[in-house]
Amino acid sequence: MLLEFHRSARDPWVVLAIFGELDMAGAPRLRQAVVGEVAGGNNRLVLDLSAVDFIDSVGLGTVVGALRRVRAHDGDLILVCSEPRILRVFEMCDLDRVFEIHADVDSAVEATGRV
């Protein structure tokens, strides 16, 4: 399955809603999207994983790489994950301690309040 994105702005955040499988095939597209956003001056990103059907180790690595990239540019990255199967992957890898994870985009954007 192809990985698709929908981009929206929630000032000062850019939300990338991801659809499909975040695996070895789709991970490069996510990396390119994050690189493009940061290059365009958008260093506060919300990755909405609500519609992700599957994530593997390459996908996880890409999400971690995205966090490193935005933080290297004095930004931040927040995850939205409402799917228990996907959230469990982050918990099993202790990445729930690394990422700020919310159940929906609204709560992610409102709770952060960081500018």
* pTM score, whole prediction: 0.93
User: What tens digit of pLDDT does each residue of 43-60 get?
Assistant: 999 999 999 999 999 999
| pLDDT at residue 115 greater than cutoff 60 | no
From 3.30.750.24, 1.10.3720.10, 3.40.50.300, 1.10.150.20, which CATH number describes the 4-106 domain? 3.30.750.24
| pLDDT at residue 31 greater than cutoff 50 | yes
Instruction: Identify residue 59 by its one-letter amino acid code.
Output: G
Q: Which residues contact 50 (CB under 8 A, 6 or more apart)?
A: 17, 80, 81, 82, 83, 104
- Which sequence spans correspond to the domains of the chain? 4-106
